[in-house]
Structure 1
């Protein structure tokens, strides 16, 4: 589930985003493959490195799970700390910029009547809160990172399902911008319901986040294999797709004013 979230669902919005700038004659398979390879290869290299690190030095791997920056930096020579710090800052800044840029489209794409700069502001505030939580509140980086992947994976799965179903519908009705609805309540409803159901079926090793997830699981299931599977990601994908497919045609009449 983590691999599917990190290497798959997390890149759907990126493929949908940057393809807007490509010519209309661009091959859809090429867009998919470029996005897939670009999103998978770098994390895959890091995953292989992590496996080798864990097998070669379990003690260091355990320390990195709680404090990755401090644990890994301690093994570096002194002269390497400056480029290491610059790379860490650059990676955080670039990731934040990319996330804010891409996710600023998410709420307008669902039909929520909010201007894009306000959507970006909401996303930036959420990112700032997440950074503060990881630095000053989280008891373990690894547990919080897993919880982040689970929670964001559920929401991203629901969003992806709505997006793909809408794309499938548009292949039959056309992609004219003037036919967009003013308020896509079926998309918002599908996203909200699927996310709520999915969060009830995932668990978290972070004690603070654990209070908000897993509420549909019994204590035994939450501590067992079912809880560890994070099945809520797949369930959210299926629920959102089914719900939106059934309700999309019930939306109000489309607007004729184009996009904002």
Structure 2
């Protein structure tokens, strides 16, 4: 066996062993890995609830090794070339084989998305233009084995052939090029450190193909990692700083600064519109409704004319449990989340407006776009299942639609959030007044902005995914709001009207002063309803991270996300009982029928 043959065998062996070594820890945090396995320095069985490879036996390889072997076969058949069409065909056949064996989650996000587009008949010259993860780098070793580093143009062309179907981006190419070039240099006899430094020099000088993405340079991030390895002699210190400073995401690069800038722009626009005053907000809301409503219709028309309706309608229905959870999540994130915004709606109307038309227009104004947007999301997800599990749903939507459609869609989504947010910020002063806190509105706005910014930073930068923390947040928020709604509805049943002057009177002579300004029956009902509701809640931000789980979370109501319904009914019924048991009806219901 020649030195080159021994090197090639060593590269492929190292790939498969490294793949098998990391298989049990995929998508797990360092803390979870340490708690579950301790230090992983030998082949281990994957635990039963491993996020990607549950229960896989020690020594099993993943799609990284499987795809590398597919690529090696194509290189041999193509005498050095990789036919992108044939590669796509082989990947689809491999995926079908894996599904038939019960393995559904082994593909990386970029490869999975690209193959779904190929199945729908998309041009394979375009399917890889959103692939920014490291899948191309994980399978590219055979390209480095088959090509010498002296002919960098040929090497770059072969690397691009390996990336094009699934990772046709600058980041996808650069990450694959670094691995392939390092392997090729290693076969020439260089040490690991020499090959790494020379690979960085060669890749940086290559003409970089692929779609541009607003991400940090992969070679720059690699240089940072190498510098860290030289600064720390202790292996544990190096691992810690590598994770903290460079990250271990499947993204070939990340842009936290750009994310922060976008959040800052959103918050700044919210404050500017809110500070401009009532008349300006009304004008902005009017024109925003027309403009961004039109953009939403544009997306709807595109989907209606391009979606595979037979496949969409023919999809197997979800379970009853999934349906209930979906209804609960939508209710928590929309109607329940807005339930305490009645004052916002009313304050922008003329005093002569009757309650019936006000309720109908508010319901229609909020409900129609809600149904349209949720419907669009359903159609998008039916055509591209990766959206439902994407860590970054904005990027997933962008990649699932052509640019001329995705840009209006995301602008409309951004504007819709901005319009609702500026109303809430403008009303921050009103909220503090209802709490009995008299402070200038500017201070209330500052608090609102700080909370909004911190929340956005956590969802986008602090968490490993979007959906888990977001659904947990709205599920937790739904419990106290639902209880409040039940009490409010119960209170309305016992009244014919409210004393408008009394509602604004915060002194002891107000008909709504109750006991030292506190409606004890309402507070008791709210606390009881909220505590009981949380007994049915599981606050789980990811598969491996559970903040807490109530003792009744495993019940039918808990499993199906109906804690909000428990809270609403319990709060309303308990308040009604306290009202009926009260000897003095004014203790609960104010002054008589007011």
Q: CA 1:100–1:169 in structure 2 vs 1: closer, same or farther (change >3 Å)?
A: farther
Q: CA 1:209–1:153 in structure 2 vs 1: closer, same or farther (change >3 Å)?
A: farther
1:137 correspondence with 2:462: yes
TM-score by length of 1: 0.75
What is residue 385 of structure 2 aligned with on the other side? 58
What is residue 201 of structure 1 aligned with on the other side? 536
Q: For the residues of structure 1 that align with 2:490 and 2:453, how far apart are their CA atoms? A: 32
Stretch of structure 1 that moved more, 165-174 or 76-85:
76-85
Q: For the residues of structure 2 that align with 1:209 and 1:184, how far apart are their CA atoms? A: 38
Tell me how far 1:170 sits from its aligned partner. 4.4
The superposition leaves residues 55-90 of structure 1 with CA deviations (integer Å, 9 ceiling, x where unpaired) of: 22223x245x32111122234556778766655553
Structure ranking higher on relative contact order (CA contacts 8 Å, 6+ apart)? 1
Q: Kindly indicate whether the alpha-carbon contact (under 8 Å) linking 1:143 and 1:204 is maintained by their aligned counterparts in 2.
A: no
The superposition leaves residues 166-206 of structure 1 with CA deviations (integer Å, 9 ceiling, x where unpaired) of: 43444266443243326234344433332222122122441
Question: Helix, strand or coil for the counterpart of 1:206?
Answer: strand
The superposition leaves residues 86-121 of structure 1 with CA deviations (integer Å, 9 ceiling, x where unpaired) of: 555534433322233346544543xx3212635555
Q: CA 1:31–1:54 in structure 2 vs 1: closer, same or farther (change >3 Å)?
A: same
What is residue 281 of structure 2 aligned with on the other side? none
TM-score by length of 2: 0.36
Q: For the residues of structure 1 that align with 2:368 and 2:567, how far apart are their CA atoms? A: 26
1:211 correspondence with 2:536: no
What is residue 12 of structure 1 aligned with on the other side? 339
Q: CA 1:167–1:121 in structure 2 vs 1: closer, same or farther (change >3 Å)?
A: farther
Q: Kindly indicate whether the alpha-carbon contact (under 8 Å) linking 1:14 and 1:35 is maintained by their aligned counterparts in 2.
A: no
Stretch of structure 1 that moved more, 23-32 or 85-94:
85-94
Q: Kindly indicate whether the alpha-carbon contact (under 8 Å) linking 1:147 and 1:206 is maintained by their aligned counterparts in 2.
A: yes
Tell me how far 1:13 sits from its aligned partner. 2.8
Q: CA 1:119–1:243 in structure 2 vs 1: closer, same or farther (change >3 Å)?
A: farther
Q: For the residues of structure 1 that align with 2:353 and 2:545, how far apart are their CA atoms? A: 42
What is residue 181 of structure 2 aligned with on the other side? none
- Which residue, out of 438, 447, 451, partners 1:115? 438
- Segments of structure 1 that go 5 or more residues without pairing to the other structure are 255-260
Q: CA 1:162–1:125 in structure 2 vs 1: closer, same or farther (change >3 Å)?
A: farther
Tell me how far 1:30 sits from its aligned partner. 0.8
Matches within 5 A, 1:89-238: 89-102=414-427, 104-106=429-431, 108-109=433-434, 112-115=435-438, 117=441, 120-171=445-496, 174-177=499-502, 178=505, 179=510, 180-181=512-513, 183-186=517-520, 187-207=522-542, 210-212=546-548, 214-217=549-552, 221=554, 225-238=556-569
Q: For the residues of structure 2 that align with 1:203 and 1:101, how far apart are their CA atoms? A: 33
Q: For the residues of structure 2 that align with 1:99 and 1:191, how far apart are their CA atoms? A: 23
The superposition leaves residues 2-38 of structure 1 with CA deviations (integer Å, 9 ceiling, x where unpaired) of: 2333443233333343223434442221111111111
Matches within 5 A, 1:1-40: 1-40=328-367
Q: Kindly indicate whether the alpha-carbon contact (under 8 Å) linking 1:200 and 1:216 is maintained by their aligned counterparts in 2.
A: yes
Tell me how far 1:45 sits from its aligned partner. 0.9
Matched residue pairs, number?
244
Q: CA 1:193–1:119 in structure 2 vs 1: closer, same or farther (change >3 Å)?
A: farther
What is residue 234 of structure 2 aligned with on the other side? none
Q: Kindly indicate whether the alpha-carbon contact (under 8 Å) linking 1:200 and 1:217 is maintained by their aligned counterparts in 2.
A: yes
Tell me how far 1:142 sits from its aligned partner. 1.5
The superposition leaves residues 213-247 of structure 1 with CA deviations (integer Å, 9 ceiling, x where unpaired) of: x32326xx16xx44332221011112322344426
